[in-house]
Structure 1
C-alpha cells in the first residue's frame, strides 16, 4: 500500500500513519518526553563534524547549541520541560523528542525548526547505512529517512518510508546496507524478539525472525554489519541473514544498550544481573565478539560505576566509561581490562529517576564532551591524552548532550 500526504502549510508536520506491515511514502512535509533510556546508534565519524562543529545540550525548559571548540553558547531555544537529543546522521541536524514527536534542530543556523515527524511517544533514533530511522513507541511505527536528504530541507522534510509493527511497543529499528529492516517485536506489556524484513512493492516480507530475546532493548552495529540487540537474559545477534542468541551467565542478565564502533567486531553492553536492584548504577559490562561469537561478562573495579549515559566508544575502538568517582575509565573490549583513567569531574551519585540530570558522555573523533550537572558545566576532553581542553559553566543544569555527526 502506498499513500501520499500533502504538506500541512501551517504546522509543517510529517504524518506517519500507515497500514500494518505497509509501506508509506510521505510527501514533503515540515517539524514525548516519554522516551526511555538508551537510544543507540552507530559510532560518530572520526572526521570533523559539519555545521561548524556544534554541540546540543538540553536542560529543563530549553536547549542550547554550543561551539564544539570553545563550548560558548551560540544560541539557546525554549523547549519543553524534558526533551531528548538524537543526532540525525546528516552532520547538521539533531532530532529533539517532544510531545508532538521528533522535532528537527538545525545546528548550522542554528534554529529549532517547526519540522516535526509526528509521533505519540518518540523513542529511539538510529543512524546507519545512510539512513536515519525513528521509532514511535506509541504506534509501533518506524520512519526511515535518507540522511543525505536532511542536509538541505528548504522548509520541508523529505519523503520517508515507514513500517508499522503489529503492536505498539517500546522498540527500535535499523536499516542495513542492503535495505533489510531489522525491527523489534512486542506489545505494550512485553517484548520478545526481532524480525528481519525486506521491502516489496506493496508490503514488507519477513526473511528471518527470533522470539528468543525477552525485554529486547536497544541495538548497536559492529564491523561487518553485525547487529546486536540487548535482552533480559543475554543478547541477540543478527549477522549474514540470520539471528543467533547469546545467553547471559546469570538467570537475569539484562543488557539494555549496545556501545559500538563500526571498525570493531566487539560490542560493549551495559549489564545488570539483579532485577530488584534499586537505582541505575551498574558495575559490569557484557563483551560480545561478533567474529568469535563469544559473550562474556566482566565485573569492573569497585571504583567504576556508571549509567546508560556514561559509556561511549572512541579512539582505538576502546570504551570510555564515565564513573561516579568523576574519572573516565578506559576499557579495552578485547579483554575487559581498564587500561587508563582520566580524572575530569567531581564525584557524583546515581539518579533517582533515569530522566534526572546526571553526568553524560558523548564522543566525536578523539574528543569527548561531558556534562557535570552538579556545577552546571560542560567539559571537552582529548581522549588521546586525557587533558581537559575546554570547560564552560552554563546558566542551566545540563541534562542530555548530542553532537552533529555524519553517519557512514
Structure 2
C-alpha cells in the first residue's frame, strides 16, 4: 500500500483569502481522507463496492449538512467551508464525494428549505449523524435533461398519497433510509415527497456494470402503489424550481470537488515526472512535460479563484444559477483534461490501479454528465447572456 504523499497546490496563495475556520475544516477533511480513503479506495473501486464504513467518518468531519444549522444537527458552517469539504473528499474519490453531496445538498437541503419544522426535527439530525442516508429521486428512465416531463406521479387518496413511477441513476439508492422524490400531483404540479425504506411497494435495485464511480452505490427507486403519509409532503415549495434549487447547491459542491480530483492528478503527475528517469534525466526536465504541468497548475489556479469568488457570492445569497452552472461546467472539464494529461505523463503506469489517475478520469466521465450535462450548462449560460431560450 503506497503512502498518501499529496501536497495541495496553491500557486496564487489563495489560502490568504480563507479564514482560520476554513483552514481548520479543510485540514480535518484532508487528514481524514489521507487516513481513511486513500489506503482503501483503489481496492473498493476495483471490487465495485461502496465502503460503507466511511459513512460515520464523513459525518464526523461535518460532510453531512455542513451548512445546516446546529439546532438540526448540522455543523452551521458557511458555503466556502462546504466547498472545501467537497474538494478534499473528491481528492480522495468522486464517488465518496457524491455520497456527501447527495446527503447535504439533495436530501438535507430540501428538507431544511422546503420542509416544515416537524420534518426538520424528525429527519435532519439522523441524516447529519449518518444514522440515516438519503437519496434524491429526480432523473427518470425517459427523462434526464428534461425533468419537467417526468412521469412519476401521486394521487390524493384521502388519508394518504398513492405514488407510482421510477427513478434511475440514483446515488445512495441501494442502502438509503429515505428518498426525496419529485413527482407530479393530479394537476401536473411537481412536489417533493419523503419516502422511507420499508414503505410497501418501494424498492431500490442496484445498478451494476459501471466503468465509472465504481466505489459509489448507484441504483433505481421504484414506486409501485406506495402509500405515502400526507405529512411526508414537503409543503414550502413546489414546481420545477424546487428540485432545481437543490441542484444549484449540488452543482456548487461539484465545482469545488472537481478541483480536488484535478489537484490529485496534478500532484501525482508532478511527483512522478520528477522521479521517472529517461535519457539520463527526470522526464520533468523535458519541455513537453513541463508544458503539461504548467498548463495544469494554471487551470487549477483559475478554477480555485472561480470557486472562491462563487463561494463568497453564495455566502451573500447573491450567486445565480447561471454562475453556478458556469463553475460546474468549467471545473469538471478542467479536471477531466488534467486527468488525461496526467495519465500521459505516467505513460503505461497511468492506467494502473497503483495510481489514482485512471480512477479519477473514469469518475469524472460521470461527473461531467450528472447534475446537468456539459452541454446543458452551456445552454444555461447562453440563455443568461442572450435572454434567448434554446431549450424550446
TM-score, scaled relative to structure 2: 0.24
**Larger helix proportion of the pair:** 2
- Radius of gyration: which is bigger? 2
TM-score, scaled relative to structure 1: 0.23
**Larger strand proportion of the pair:** 1
